Amino acid sequence: DLLSLIRNQVVARNDDSTAHAELFRRLLHAGVVDLLLEAKWFELQMLLLRELPDDIDAVTLMRQFLEKHDKTGV
């Protein structure tokens, strides 16, 4: 679901499918899936802040995702 939120933001920015693919390759290579599976929210947010374009609000994306999916009560 987080990757879907990210995809929606990325695609809304422009139509450069090559740039979109490169961004998602970088996220996958950096371990985004492992961070999601291990519920390492802080590290995940830091990764998104580092990798996403400046005009995509990583903090808001994380907040939206966690409001729906974080069951730890944090």
At 72 the pLDDT is 64
- Please report, in tens digits, the pLDDT of each residue of the chain (74 residues total): 899 999 999 989 888 899 999 999 999 999 999 999 999 999 999 999 999 999 999 999 999 999 998 776 55
- By CB atoms closer than 10 A (0-12, 13-18, 19+), residue 57 is middle
Residues 6+ apart with CB under 8 A from 74: 41
Question: What does the alpha-carbon distance between residue 41 and residue 53 come to, in Å, rounded to a whole number?
Answer: 19
Place of tokens 């996958």: 28
Closest CA to 59 of 42, 35, 40: 42
